[in-house]
């Protein structure tokens, strides 16, 4: 899928989300479209068995403390429920980990490489699809 099509799909998702769509993270917290307004959104695909994913998690934990940025994780293996909660706790993931409903709402494709990170601007447009490990510094540079 090309970047332009992501924008079209995301636009449709944003319109649908504006109609009351919301999602639940691995802790049971509800997240709505209103929670995302006027904020950068960073979505990171990770897996327990992926060493670079584990290495970059503290970078995303730190990035998530920025009030202008919302960070979401997506477990590549589709783990959910109590198993996902336990795994996220074991891996010290401090940001929200979302499920397939969130992925579908934003038209995110399953990545071919892990880790993969998607960066959306404040208007909800996909700006970057980044393969490989990221740092807080490199991600902040993209958000300027």
Q: What CA–CA distance (Å, rounded) separates 43 from 76?
A: 12
Q: What CA–CA distance (Å, rounded) separates 62 from 79?
A: 24
Could you tell me the two tokens for 99? 């499920």
Q: What ranges make up the beta strands (E) of 1-144?
A: 22-24, 30-32, 40-46, 69-75, 96-98, 116-120, 126-131
31 with 25: CB under 8 angstroms? yes
Structure confidence by residue, pLDDT tens digits, 21-72? 799 999 999 999 888 989 999 999 999 999 999 999 999 999 999 999 999 9
Structure confidence by residue, pLDDT tens digits, 79-90? 999 999 999 999
Could you tell me the two tokens for 12? 């449709």
SS3 content of the chain, % helix, strand, coil (to 5): 40, 25, 40
pLDDT band at 10, cuts 50/70/90? very low
pLDDT band at 137, cuts 50/70/90? very high
Structure confidence by residue, pLDDT tens digits, 58-77? 999 999 999 999 999 999 99
What pTM, to 2 d.p., does this model score?
A: 0.84
Q: Indicate the SS3 state at residue 74.
A: strand
- pLDDT for the residue 7: 42
């Amino acid at each position: 899928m090309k970047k332009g099509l992501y924008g079209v799909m995301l636009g449709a998702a944003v319109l649908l989300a504006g109609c009351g769509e919301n999602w639940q993270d691995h802790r049971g917290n509800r997240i709505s479209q209103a929670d995302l307004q006027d904020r950068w959104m960073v979505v990171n695909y990770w897996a327990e068995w992926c060493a670079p994913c584990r290495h970059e998690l503290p970078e995303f934990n730190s990035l998530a403390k920025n009030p202008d940025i919302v960070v979401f994780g997506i477990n590549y293996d589709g783990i959910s429920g109590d198993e996902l909660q336990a795994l996220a706790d074991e891996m010290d993931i401090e940001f929200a980990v979302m499920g397939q409903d969130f992925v579908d709402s934003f038209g995110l494709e399953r990545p071919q490489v892990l880790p993969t990170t998607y960066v959306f601007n404040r208007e909800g447009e996909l700006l970057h699809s980044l393969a490989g490990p990221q740092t807080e510094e490199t991600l902040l540079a993209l958000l300027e």
